[in-house]
Amino acid sequence: MSPAWWAAFGPAEAQLRCGDAQHRLRWADGTLEAVDHPDAEGELVLGALGGDTSPCLDVVAAWGKHCDDLTALAIGPRSASDQLTIPASVLDEITAASGSGQAYHGLGNPAAQAVSVMSFRAPVARLSTVIAASSGGSPRHIRRRVAARAMVLRRRRMLRGHASYGLAYGWHGRAPLRWRGSIAFDEARAELIRLLALGPSFQFRLSAAVAHAWSADGAKTGRAERARPALTAALAGRLAPAAAGWLDIDPEDVEVAVHYGANWGEFALIKSAGTGRLQARLPVGWLASVWAPGFAVVDRHMIVSVLDAAWPTARVLAVRSPGQDPVEQTIRSDNGHWSVTSR
């Protein structure tokens, strides 16, 4: 039996401002908890009935909502050196648009949290998925920014010839592009940005959660075939830099396909005219159990599967070079760096 996808992850913590206090968010064993809210469920029910909700619980709810969101893989990190920075101004924009002024800080990243409105239309167990950000009361600077964004979009369309007549003559009476209602940014995207702002440890853990959800053991496995293009790209985007370091080849020379079999997958190196092209087949679960904990390549071996894990150690299958059979290794994390302890 394969270990839990989170078994090779250590715990992670972030701090955020919740009301007047500085609270902790703790991720362990695949679950995010608001440590300073022992009665989270009760607070969620109160919030659903019209009471105040807390930024801590909003983040926890957003985590639950996005732990199968493929957009997290589209935006999230591709490697340990791939740094994401979420600027405070963007988080402020989210906060201001949601009508709250409360800010939070996670792992040193200045961040701001929007107060969300809970709508009670599902059992308590499902409350984490029914949070919707408030849409009312945008401050003036947000409107200006949104208008500026709309202008940028219009200008781009004009440059492409969409409104050339409008440019030349200036339509009156009707705008070339009419926006019905107000313009807002995507709430789901805003939530995801807030989660990514918690810092790199949480970015990798969220990516792992999403990858696991779409893997053979995940909740979304039934729909994984339909999401195959997105999963293939997620796999390719992360395997390519790892494989480039492993085999000293160009990341563009890495071809990836999603593997659905019972075994770990396959690597084949096709050499021609002094260059090598890697053809790889790996399961989506590789992203969750191998890549995200940070041991895709250890000691010039590509790790392809985890046999057993209890952070900070893991027993893995590792491939020395394409075409060779994998060998068992035991690896250990020391200050975030994985190294082989025994073969």
Partner 1 sequence: MTAAREDATPGRERAETYLRLQAEAELRRALAMPQYKPRDFRSQRAIQTRLMRRRRAVLDRFMRQHVLAATASSQSGLASQLRRAQAIAALPVVRRAAQSLAKARTIAAPPTAIVLKAGTGASNLLGGARALRWRLWQRSRMSHRRRGYQSPPAEACLTRLETLADVFAAVGAVTAETEEDVVGGLRAALAARSRIEQHALLDYHRFGGRAVMSYSGPGGHPMRRMAGGSSAPAGPPRAIPVGVSASGEIEGVPVRFYLGVLVFDHGGVTLTVRVRFPAELEKEDDSHMDPVYDAVNQISAVDDRSATYRADFSGGGGGGEWDGRLRLSPAPPPGVRWLDMALPGAPAARVRLDATPRDLSITTGQVTTSAADRFLDAQTIQLLSREVTDLDWESDDEDEQPLFLIASHLVAAGVLSVGSPSLRRLAAAGARLGTQLPELLAAIEPTELPADWLSLLARADRTDGPTGAIPIAAVLPEVDGIQCIIEELVSTPESATMHVHARGSARREQMWWSARDDAGGRYIVGEGGWSSDDDEANLDFEISPAINPQARVLDIMLTGTTTQVTVSVPLDWREGL
Site for partner 1 in 161-180 (CB under 8 A): 161-166, 168-180
Closest approach of partner 1 to the CB of residue 60, in Å:
18
* Candidate residues 17, 78, 212, 281; the one interacting with partner 1 per rule CB under 8 A: 78
Q: Does 291 bind partner 1 (CB under 8 A)?
A: no
Closest approach of partner 1 to the CB of residue 86, in Å:
7
Q: What is the DSSP string of 61-104?
A: HHHHHHTT-HHHHHHS-SSTT------HHHHHHHHHHHT---EE
Stretch 83-122: interaction string toward partner 1, x if CB under 8 A: xxxxx-xx--xx----------------------------
Query: Cα–Cα distance between 198 and 20 in angstroms, integer?
Result: 19
With contacts defined by CB under 8 A, name the span among 14-22, 35-43, 186-194, 317-325 that binds partner 1. 186-194
Closest approach of partner 1 to the CB of residue 100, in Å:
16
Binding residues with partner 1: total (CB under 8 A): 71
* Candidate residues 129, 186, 310, 339; the one interacting with partner 1 per rule CB under 8 A: 186
Given the complex with partner 1, which of 71 and 313 has the nearer CB atom? 71
* Candidate residues 32, 190, 298, 302; the one interacting with partner 1 per rule CB under 8 A: 190
Given the complex with partner 1, which of 15 and 134 has the nearer CB atom? 134
- Residue 336, H or E segment: none
Output the six-digit token pair for 327: 């060998």
The CA-based dihedral angle spanning residues 61, 67, 71, 73, taken in that order and rounded to the nearest 10 degrees = 140
With contacts defined by CB under 8 A, name the span among 54-62, 70-78, 107-115, 303-311 that binds partner 1. 70-78
Query: Cα–Cα distance between 62 and 67 in angstroms, integer?
Result: 8
- Residue 318, H or E segment: strand 313-319
Given the complex with partner 1, which of 40 and 196 has the nearer CB atom? 196
Closest approach of partner 1 to the CB of residue 65, in Å:
9
Closest approach of partner 1 to the CB of residue 47, in Å:
23
Q: CB 71: neighbour CB atoms within 10 A?
A: 14
Q: Identify the CA nearest to 24 among candidates 61, 62, 57.
A: 57
Site for partner 1 in 214-273 (CB under 8 A): 223, 225-230, 232-233, 236-237, 240-241, 251-252
Q: Does 182 bind partner 1 (CB under 8 A)?
A: yes
Query: Cα–Cα distance between 77 and 203 in angstroms, integer?
Result: 7
Which of helix, strand or coil describes residue 112? strand
Closest approach of partner 1 to the CB of residue 173, in Å:
3
Which of helix, strand or coil describes residue 333? strand
Output the six-digit token pair for 332: 């250990």
Closest approach of partner 1 to the CB of residue 168, in Å:
7
- C-alpha torsion sign, points 224, 227, 231, 232: positive
Which of helix, strand or coil describes residue 266? strand
Site for partner 1 in 137-156 (CB under 8 A): 145-146, 149-150, 153
Given the complex with partner 1, which of 85 and 335 has the nearer CB atom? 85
Given the complex with partner 1, which of 18 and 236 has the nearer CB atom? 236
Query: Cα–Cα distance between 18 and 53 in angstroms, integer?
Result: 10
